[in-house]
């Protein structure tokens, strides 16, 4: 499902009203601490892994797959996607037309799709069920 940039902005504003949104910002703070402490390997640092788990447990704890997540599974999927995640690090999905841009000759949309598929394999379906 594709949404317009304006729709995305509205969804982000709605998200800000979500009572659990503070968990996302707490996780971001911990990730920033990882970056400062270990700039080369921050993606695989304990605080980063725990931050990913914090977000997942906050939003998807009802999922049986989420309940079986481990730090090792999260670390493995982050390690598997380190190169792609580093390519995207200075960008935001909230940037207009970001998915149609290229980074180092690679379409951002394809990079995101590949990362999403790897994460979905580990995390299962997150958020609202996909429409068919």
Condensed to tens digits (0 to 9), the pLDDT of residues 18-38 reads 888 899 899 999 999 999 998
pTM: 0.81
Confidence of residue 117 (pLDDT cuts 50, 70, 90): very high
Instruction: Grade residue 96 by pLDDT with cuts at 50, 70 and 90.
Output: confident
75 domain-assigned? yes
Q: List the domain range (segments joined by +) for residue 65.
A: 22-123
Is residue 85 a part of any domain in this protein?
yes
Q: How far apart are CA 68 and CA 24, in angstroms?
A: 21
Residue 13 has a pLDDT of: 84
**Comparing C-alpha atoms, which of 53, 30, 54, 56 is closest to residue 42?**
30
CA angle (8, 85, 1) in 5-degree steps: 30
Whether 129 is in a domain gets the answer no
pLDDT grade for 128, boundaries at 50, 70 and 90: low
How many separate domains does the chain show? 1
> pLDDT digits over 46-78, tens only?
999 999 999 999 888 788 888 899 999 999 999
Sign of CA dihedral 65, 66, 70, 75: positive
Instruction: Return phi, psi of residue 81, to 5°.
Output: -115, 15
The secondary element (H helix, E strand) that includes residue 77 is helix 71-80
Q: What is d(CA 98, CA 36) in angstroms, rounded to the nearest whole number?
A: 26
Quick check: 106 pLDDT over 80?
A: yes
| Residue 86 burial (CB count, 10 A) | 12
**Residue 78 forms part of a structural domain:** yes
Report yes or no: 126 and 59 within 8 Å, Cβ to Cβ. Answer: yes
């Amino acid at each position: 499902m594709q949404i317009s940039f304006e729709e995305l902005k509205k969804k982000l504003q709605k998200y800000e009203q979500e009572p659990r949104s503070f968990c996302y910002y707490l996780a971001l703070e911990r990730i920033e601490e990882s970056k400062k402490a270990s700039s080369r390997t921050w993606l695989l640092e304990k605080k980063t892994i725990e931050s990913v788990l914090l977000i997942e447990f906050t939003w998807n704890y009802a999922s049986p797959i989420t309940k079986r997540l481990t730090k090792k599974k999260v670390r493995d999927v982050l390690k598997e996607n380190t190169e792609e995640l580093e390519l995207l690090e200075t960008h935001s999905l909230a940037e207009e037309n970001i998915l149609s841009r290229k980074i180092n000759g690679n379409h951002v949309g394809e990079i995101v799709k590949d990362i999403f598929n790897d994460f979905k394999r580990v995390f299962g379906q997150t958020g609202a069920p996909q429409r068919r």
